[in-house]
Structure 1
Amino acid sequence: MGKLDDTNRRIATGLFFGILLLLGPLLVRDYGMGWDERADRMVGYMSLRYVAQLVAPQVLAAGHFTGIHELATHGDADHGPVFQILLAGLEIAFFRHNPRGAGWMRHLLTFGVFVAGVWAVYRLGRARFASWRWGLVGAGLLVLSPRIFAEAFINYKDIVFLSLFALAVLTLTRLLHRPTVRGALLHALVCALATDVRTMGILLPGLTVAFGALEMWARPARRAAIVRALGWYLGALAPLVVLFWPFLWEAPVTRFWECFGSFRRYRQTMKVFYLGELISCQRLPWHYLSVWLLVTTPVAYTALAVGGAWAVLRGLLARPTAWLRHTTNRQDLLFGAWLLGPLVVIVVIQSVVYDGWRHVYFIYPAFVLLAVRGLRAGVRAWQEAPAASAGRRVGWVAGGLLAVGVMHTVFRQVHDHPYQYGYFSFPPGPVAGSLFERDYWGVSGRDGLAWVLAHDPGATVAVSDTLPQKITMYNNLLLLPAAQRARLRFVPHAQARYFLGIYRWHPWPYEPQFGTPVHDIKVNGMTILTVFQR
């Protein structure tokens, strides 16, 4: 029986991750380019240029860094560069004169990191629930989350950080289970990489020390081994963070503190559209992140996560000391801290957030694992209920509703492709568009430009370069074939034949002077881009 189950595990997990990996190259060309992509690319190139100046100045003569800003004086130098350095190096090596291919390469590798994060969630679920099947359920819920899946191709920062954070929690649980020097150094490496993508990675050493202390209390026989492992971890973490972040090299402590302060204050003058109003991101209500999470997460997942969180809280409050003695319960507590801790920290330090809840996407794997906890608890309660009892009947109804909810999510993920980043769960599309930001990435601009070029026979096509449309138009121009790029002309609005409305900072209908609407891109009835002809 054991060999048969192991064979089934290998087949099921192989198929799941094989199909997931195959989806990357199959779908990567369907997505446009996000708002921040060229700015993020510059971060990678600036960091590489800085390293080249120090260790190989002759490389600068090759012309790879012509037009690249100085790292120390650029406004985005405080952005974690480690993933962008990798992408910039690959672009220089293989896509120097192919911006379209470089864009697809960057998207594909971003998705590859996401697959690694999905694998981490699978392993966390498999270890926590002692079942590879439940681990696959968790991995499946993460993949079948429309916004997360779409942004896995286009979001270099938040999705990459989500994936690395999940990998760091995986290495943490392994370190707590078996405290070794090798495990401590591996955990330090993953935590450093996560921190060098987003400074919120500094939460990881806090979680590591806190749950290391809890583990020493629960398993006093392993206290010395845990103390030694934590010492190696803390000793290696800071040097590794500095190693992969060239901006920190000259003044590690001062500059890292500056970067963290920038994270709190970044774009503090920007306005966001929330609950039907344009408001400053400095004056967002405390519920901003939680409401965004609620309205963009499938309802079935939210119900399961609430059930899982309630099961954890009930066990903790009933007999806290005895409950914490169990390894699986301490893992549940870790998932809860992973989910709620960052939200509390952001509210307490009054950090600037915008563009929905993308800055805290890294808590979503914990949300998913708690949803699996809730589903598992519900299945067990149903199994233990007497046959033909009210509990069994309620279980059948709840199970049916959950199945319908999951199937609806799958339908939306397929139907909305490639615009799943505009997914809202229960608000109807037009209602969601009147209350919340739409395509704040501007990714739909690529398809808007492609539509214009396909329907205008002119040798040149004049498109308005009005801000903020100009940013997303210039970005998405790079993903068009060279012949189409040559036809486009970005001109002042008064000279343009076409205007592409992306509804960022303009959530209401566009005025008549923008032209006659000739094409819309919609997600579930919500317009995310309109092409106007003048």
Structure 2
Amino acid sequence: MVPLFFLAVLVLGLLVFRDYGLSIDENQQRDTGMISLKHVALKVAPAWVKADHDFDKYNTPLAEYYDRDYGTAFETPVCLAERLLGLSDGGDKFLFRHLCTFLVCFGGLIAVYQLAARRFRNWRLGLLAALWLLLSPRLFAEFFYNDKDAVFMALFAIATNTGVRLLLRPTARRAAWHALVCAITIDVRIMGVLLPLLTVALLGWRALRGEVRWPRAVGTSALYLVVLAGAVVALWPYLWPAPLDNFVAAFEKMSAFRWGGMVLYRGDFIIATDLPWHYALVWMAITTPVLYVGAGLLGLGLVVRQVVRQRWRLWQDEAGLQDVVFLGLFAGPLLAVIALHSVLYDGWRQVYFVYPAFLLLALRGWVAAAAWRPRWAWWPKALYGATALSALVIAAQMVRDHPLQNVYFNVLAGRHVAERFEMDYWGLGYRQDLEYIIEHETRPVVTVFAPGPSPAEFNRLMLPAFQRERLQFVDKPENADYFITNYRWHPEPYPYDFEVHQVRADGRRVHSVFRLR
């Protein structure tokens, strides 16, 4: 059953990865990867750089690049593979990136399965955890185009998996593997430093409790930290000139992120630097299936009670140790975001990496609920039925809304969601807007206006090559034949009479196409 499940998921991903539009960040992410790749290639293969004209426009040195402190452990290898494959068409380049993003996230799905199966010693529960991650509509969509947050979440889950293995049975081999995966995770997003901190702290605590012999704990930790430090520097070209100084600079910029735009939250526009403390928690609650939210709250409460009862010992057995890891990786970052008043935007995507730990806590709650034996004999069957029904309903909704699962909201979001919360902030639906115009227009050239900033023009790459030049983007609506919008920063209706097309998801308007003349 396990191989069949993951084979089916892999086939599904290979069938649908071409369906998604291009997000507003993808072009910039590729630029970051290409600049880093060129920086390295000029040192080891300058003739190749000169021969491949795709490098020609990347003339900014890495040391002067605005986003030089962004981790590139995913971006650079993908750009390298793209150039080695000789991809020349713009659309093909980004479809390849979508495929690579999915494959990394597929690895994260496997890691969640292994974490759950190990914790509960049951492969069926492992599959349930993986299924819950797969049937998280927003995350499913972002598995194909979000090469920042979704990739980081997947790598964080993989590193959590190797970390739990190391904590349970400390060996040199496991320490080296965990160090390598942690280094890659940190070199995608520096917030990955949470994993080494937790690993070393819990390994030391196990030694203090007498669960691990001190020589083994010290030796394993030393090997882990040495391999980790070397791999972090080796896989991040930005660090090479001054490893410690540049790492500290990158961490400081991450902790005070440079974005001060407006976000739509509960019907009001708020500056990202002035968000209320509950912003991430509310977004997580209204965009996660309700069953997972309820099970997660139950599991969170059970694990907190378990830790409190153990007092300074924290856990009683290996299952309890794993629960502490999941609790720390879920609650710790969220509490830090609240305490530090961190800048967030576009929902809770910057903290997606806590979601696998949340699902494992939710599974803990679900298992407890399944083991509960009240006076009602029908309780277990009702729970199993509700779980199956939830999966079927979510799966059906994901199929219906494909490829815009990224605008999923649950019933907790309330009414008039499109006027209260940001919808397609990624701008994926612009692909469907342009496809509609091309399909319904016979004129050889059509002018289009889209309020910026948006990836509307960027999504031309998703059209057939011979159709792309038919669309010409203009900078004023009075010069355009069509006005297209995702309503970002403008949730109210536009004053145009001829709306010829709407892109909808879950019955809600997401995009509109207006014919102006």
TM-score bucket of the superposed structures, by smaller chain: over 0.9
- 8 A Cα contact 2:22 2:427, kept in partner: yes
Match of 1:27 in 2: 16
Pick closer, same or farther for the CA change 1:165–1:405 going to 2, 3 Å.
same
Contact 1:193 1:241 in 2 (8 A): yes
1:214 is displaced (CA, Å) by 2.4
Aligned-partner Cα distance in 2 for 1:345–1:321: 22
1:414 and 2:404 are equivalent in the alignment: no
Asked whether the 8 Å contact 1:429–1:526 carries over to 2, the reply is no
SS in 1 for 2:124: helix
1:119 has 2:110 as partner = yes
How far off is 1:95 after superposition? 4.1
Residues 1:348 and 2:339 are matched in the alignment: yes
* CA shift for structure 1 position 75: 1.2
Distance 2:212 2:107 in 1: 34
Displacement of 1:315 after TM fit?
Answer: 2.1
The answer to whether residue 511 in structure 2 is matched with residue 529 in structure 1 is: yes
Alpha-carbon distance in 1 for matches of 2:390, 2:118: 27
Relative to structure 1, the CA distance from residue 73 to residue 319 in structure 2 (aligned partners, 3 Å threshold; closer, same or farther) is closer
Partner of 2:213: 222
Aligned-pair CA distance for 1:466? 3.8
Verify: 1:308 aligned to 2:299, yes or no: yes
* Alignment correspondent of 2:483: 499
Superposition pairs of residues 14-413 of structure 1, within 5 angstroms:
14-62=3-51, 63-68=53-58, 69-320=60-311, 324-382=315-373, 385=374, 389-390=375-376, 392-413=377-398
Instruction: Give the equivalent residue in structure 1 for 2:427.
Output: 442
Partner of 1:5: none
| SS across alignment from 1:17 | helix
State the SS of the aligned residue for 2:61: coil
Asked whether the equivalents of residues 335 and 370 of structure 1 are also in contact (C-alpha less than 8 Å), the reply is yes
Paired residues of 1:308 and 1:372 also in contact (CA < 8 A): yes
Indicate conservation of the 8 Å contact 2:287/2:410, yes or no.
yes
The whole-number CA distance in structure 2 between the counterparts of 1:473 and 1:430 is 28
Once the two structures are TM-superposed, the CA of residue 316 in structure 1 deviates from its matched residue by 2.2
Contact 1:429 1:525 in 2 (8 A): no
AA aligned opposite 2:67: D
Q: How far 1:519 sits from its partner (Å)?
A: 0.6
Shift of 1:427: 4.6
Tell me if the contact between 1:165 and 1:362 (Cα under 8 Å) persists in the aligned partners. yes
**Equivalent residue for 2:469?**
486
TM-fit CA distance, 1:212: 1.0
Corresponding pairs, count: 513
5+ residue gaps, structure 2: none
Paired AA for residue 13 in structure 1:
V
CA distance in 1, matches of 2:65, 2:414: 39
Q: Name the CA shift for 1:33/1:298 in 2 (closer, same or farther; >3 Å).
A: same
> What is the DSSP-based 3-state SS (H/G/I as helix, E as strand, rest coil) of the residue aligned with 2:54?
coil
CA-CA distance at 1:371 after TM superposition: 1.2
Q: Distance in 2 between matches of 1:70 and 1:55?
A: 16
Amino acid in structure 1 at the alignment position of 2:405: Q
| Structure 1 residue runs without a partner (length 5+) | 1-11
Counterpart of 1:446, as a letter, is: R
| Aligned counterparts of 1:364 and 1:475: Cα–Cα separation in 2 | 30
Q: Which residue of 2 aligns with 1:464?
A: 449
Q: State the partner residue of 1:9.
A: none
* Partner residue, 2:493: 509
Amino acid in the other structure paired with 2:27? R
Per-residue CA deviations over 1:64-112 (Å, capped at 9, x if unaligned) read 3111132111211121111111111122122431222221111011111
The more displaced of 371-380 and 437-446 is 371-380
TM-score, normalised with respect to structure 2: 0.95
**1:66 is aligned with what amino acid?**
D
Aligned residue identity for 2:8: I
Q: Give, in angstroms, the shift of residue 320 of structure 1.
A: 3.5
C-alpha contact 2:450 2:485 (8 A) present in aligned 1: no
State the shift of 1:347 in Å: 2.0
Counterpart CA distance in 1 for 2:481 and 2:15 is 34
Tell me by how many angstroms 1:395 deviates: 4.6
Retained in 1: the 8 A contact 2:451–2:485? no
Percentage of identical aligned residues: 40
Task: State how far apart, in whole Å, the 1-side matches of 2:188 and 2:429 are.
Answer: 25
1:518 equivalent among 493, 500, 506: 500
Question: What is the rounded CA distance, in whole Å, between the counterparts of 1:525 and 1:452 in structure 2?
Answer: 22
Aligned 8 A contact 1:306 1:371 in 2: yes
Q: Secondary structure at the match of 1:41?
A: helix
Q: Partners in 2 of 1:453 and 1:427 — Cα distance?
A: 38
After TM superposition, the structure 1 stretch with the greater mean CA deviation from structure 2, 144-153 or 221-230, is 221-230
Deviates more, 1:37-46 or 1:491-500: 491-500
CA 1:428–1:303 in 2, change beyond 3 Å: closer, same or farther?
A: closer
- Backbone CA RMSD of aligned residues: 1.7
CA distance in structure 2 between the partners assigned to 1:533 and 1:226 by the alignment:
68
Displacement of 1:398: 4.5
CA distance in 2 between counterparts of 1:318 and 1:202 reads 29
Secondary structure of 1:478's aligned partner = helix
- The alpha-carbon deviation at position 60 of structure 1 amounts to 3.0
Cα offset for 1:178?
A: 1.8
Residue 440 of structure 1 deviates from its aligned partner by: 0.6
Aligned partners of 2:174, 2:121: CA distance in 1, in Å?
21
